[in-house]
Structure 1
């Protein structure tokens, strides 16, 4: 089979105005970035906000493994499949970060015959949104350090600055640095560091803002440091939320592209799901719901991370209700969870599959707790045997959920027709049922965490470190404990220990620290070793990338 980039090169793209016309977007609200990409003005939502919403489909997955699950490929294939059966559908996705593109993951535009295009632009600089977020983030750092140097009227304690600098690249050497060295003219020496842009609170804020005024309000609430009096110092105290919003004035507008079969796709924002809420922008999703019968969106990583955050935080606070949840699974990944070695996954093993399938079972049970119908999508690989597929199908059906084999990677929309039809049937199953949540916003902070840890992560008990308990006192003193909670933990296990594969339960879940994202509107509970700045591997994906004199790109996937 051809590589992703070879398939993409052979695709016949339509002019972006043809895609916008299909969605009936007036030209006044479209700003083209070349022939195949455009920005949709966020103000267009005000024009269509009274239209009836389509149905929202949340795509999630089993716990990720090195074997791959294909969540984005399934999301794209599903939306193409829906359009194939004459259902007007849009897929809304996150923008890829350059760090993972150059690192180990590669691109994030789908794969095979289920891609969003132009994949080269989407995976590289796209429309500059992430660069704008990086610039806004670092403006805060620059203004903050200038304020400390010149009289420090706010009384900022340099040892209590929380706000690190940002860049859109994996670089472990920048995690912890010293700035301000070389004399008084260079500022006040202090410890600092870098995070990757996708982990910036500004990324989360942008994705949760529906207009410029809301963006400025959220930016102003970002807590960047504490004063000598221990009180929180915010962006609003520096009076730069207007400048930040100005930098982000274009980045707030969703990006319109197309799938390989010329169906509409909106790609906007990209917060990580093991640090922030892990989904594309609210404005992109809400806009899509007004323009189509079905919107397919996805949560980052597995259902214990992206889906839980989407449902408990995004849906609960931004009036969004998925009509169906699609859980993506692969035979390969389930066998890996059952203890099979990575280099042996192409071999049939019902024994390992029986052990690993408990991981899928936990995610099905968890998603049902939100009172939303579930569909299992088996993302088919060439090595999957009929016996293995039949075993997973029977297992899922015994859990009283729809199940479908998705072959969109090899067959495009034709390979996702069955999945699309089952999603439509699922959406019609109990669409009027009231959605439930694992926790309520009114719950105490510790209770919110304990409910997620026990109900979703299947922990036996929850422990808070001494440092975490100190942070809880700070959060409660200033009223931040009333905010929703986002738990940052490993994506490689349902638990807080990446070595625990399958379906661990009854273990001790430990919260070691807290970070405050007051602008985005949540508190982050840190469990395990979670870093906001990844590092490159010994042989990064960057060594596979190249471009020739004719502009032909190699190695991007």
Structure 2
């Protein structure tokens, strides 16, 4: 059986002018700043005018730990949004923008798939409205101003050995992880060791995604700690007078982007911090704006629920005063089989026993999400080849966990394949059953917060952190940062820090390699195991298969 590729389906989309999409949410055309005919930014003045409106219901889509079999979290987010509109609800979608790193690397884009996509797919997965370029430029302006300040006499007495601000680029490039700058003599400055992170790991990205408006953004940018003096007192971006110019560069990027699904329903696509190394959620301003304009807002959090959903609850909801009304946990029969020990090459064969073994991963995610006080529904993202017995095995297991699993065929059928899920999710969201509470209180000591996440969410027995790391956390507490939430940087492939440990491992140790204070964003990054803040390309990157065909159309994006 042959299927159309995602890009072929996207190219055939019957798109409506973006003004018509805005009208569905009551956005007047004069408050849309169009980027072509099919995408636009929503003006800040209009957003400010919405403050007195009540909020709609917030639905989070998360997933099991990703496997090479594919889960389809964004596809399900889009499918559910379309499904809610199909059953007569006024719904909007909020997802993240795509990073060029995974687009040209291994993971692919971030626009959904099949008949549950956001369009224009090509532009969304490439330069879109330039937000990531603006974030990269603002970040690297600060980097340049640090080195320039040192070159011209170092009035702030920056200790060159304690410059913590690295540079960023929106590409997977392992060669830039650890570098030496300013070689070549006196005119080039003072040599020092530094490196690059990927743009989606930038604190500037996190600041933009957690800010409510430009004033909030400028304050957060000014609060970024970039270096320390010899007496270990911090140097802030505002000390270098960089916050104003950085905000100017981000002026347009701060405004949410409005696009549409294949079924012409509104979608906000804004911000894009990675979930394995940053907080993994779309922007607060997009989500809060959507909640004022729609009765139901479907958003997603990156990778598995151990990362994305935990950070959505403990960082985004805490910071923005949000509370989800329902969580949808995406799983596939294929992924259950892989968690049950089946090799990718053997996934086509029916194996109910492997499905049952692999469901332990799903069960731990269900329990974790419920621990936040929010009802959970499992969406089984249907793949051609799933058998009735395998689907029944997942549904039976989920029922034993006190939840329910609903088969979804949105990839092949669009909104017609998510009607049952949409009706159940709307019913739960409207019921008021959610009693949301974060995992830990603000006042808990930083290391205790790390342990709470490791033991409650990952099921680790212990956290391994040497004295230097513990002392650093205590020092930040003494400086007034003890009330910040924790942002775990950990492999997405496992509950543990070992990417090869599938299923639901218990009794493992969580090794902490490094901690970073993101004072502007407002969280402490805890780097676990071998996770990298600058990914590398795989042996055969997706870029090798991306090209322009004879008609000038892009091929190979997915």
What TM-score bracket applies, with the shorter chain setting the length? over 0.9
2:507 is aligned to 506
Asked if 1:384 corresponds to 2:386, the answer is: yes
Question: Which whole-Å CA distance do the structure 2 matches of 1:354 and 1:549 have between them?
Answer: 48
2:466 is aligned to 465
SS in 1 for 2:61: strand
Map of 1:114-513 to 2, 5 A cutoff? Answer: 114-431=116-433, 433-513=434-514
1:521 is aligned to 522
> How much has 1:437 moved relative to structure 2?
2.1
1:111 is aligned to 113
Question: Which whole-Å CA distance do the structure 1 matches of 2:532 and 2:468 have between them?
Answer: 17
> How much has 1:42 moved relative to structure 2?
2.9
Question: Which whole-Å CA distance do the structure 2 matches of 1:526 and 1:456 have between them?
Answer: 16
SS in 2 for 1:543: helix
SS in 2 for 1:478: helix
Question: Which whole-Å CA distance do the structure 2 matches of 1:161 and 1:106 have between them?
Answer: 34
Q: Check whether the contact 1:547–1:553 (CA below 8 A) recurs between aligned residues.
A: yes
Structure 2 unpaired stretches of 5+: none
Question: Which whole-Å CA distance do the structure 1 matches of 2:533 and 2:45 have between them?
Answer: 32
Question: Which whole-Å CA distance do the structure 2 matches of 1:402 and 1:46 have between them?
Answer: 39
SS in 1 for 2:482: helix
Q: Check whether the contact 2:443–2:482 (CA below 8 A) recurs between aligned residues.
A: no
Which of 46, 49, 58 pairs up with 1:47? Answer: 49
What count of residue pairs does the alignment treat as equivalent?
556
Q: Check whether the contact 1:42–1:210 (CA below 8 A) recurs between aligned residues.
A: no
Question: Which whole-Å CA distance do the structure 2 matches of 1:487 and 1:552 have between them?
Answer: 40
Question: Which whole-Å CA distance do the structure 2 matches of 1:459 and 1:107 have between them?
Answer: 32
Deviates more, 1:24-33 or 1:325-334: 24-33
Question: Which whole-Å CA distance do the structure 1 matches of 2:110 and 2:189 have between them?
Answer: 40
> How much has 1:229 moved relative to structure 2?
1.8
2:59 is aligned to 57
Question: Which whole-Å CA distance do the structure 2 matches of 1:176 and 1:368 have between them?
Answer: 41
SS in 2 for 1:207: helix
Q: Check whether the contact 2:469–2:515 (CA below 8 A) recurs between aligned residues.
A: yes
Question: Which whole-Å CA distance do the structure 1 matches of 2:481 and 2:550 have between them?
Answer: 54
Deviates more, 1:325-334 or 1:547-556: 547-556
Question: Which whole-Å CA distance do the structure 1 matches of 2:466 and 2:494 have between them?
Answer: 21
Asked if 1:544 corresponds to 2:556, the answer is: no
2:555 is aligned to 554
Q: Check whether the contact 2:380–2:405 (CA below 8 A) recurs between aligned residues.
A: yes
Question: Which whole-Å CA distance do the structure 2 matches of 1:401 and 1:324 have between them?
Answer: 12
Question: Which whole-Å CA distance do the structure 2 matches of 1:532 and 1:512 have between them?
Answer: 12
Q: Check whether the contact 1:279–1:306 (CA below 8 A) recurs between aligned residues.
A: yes
Question: Which whole-Å CA distance do the structure 2 matches of 1:430 and 1:32 have between them?
Answer: 37
Question: Which whole-Å CA distance do the structure 2 matches of 1:509 and 1:535 have between them?
Answer: 23
Question: Which whole-Å CA distance do the structure 2 matches of 1:29 and 1:551 have between them?
Answer: 33
2:100 is aligned to 98
Q: Check whether the contact 2:57–2:430 (CA below 8 A) recurs between aligned residues.
A: no
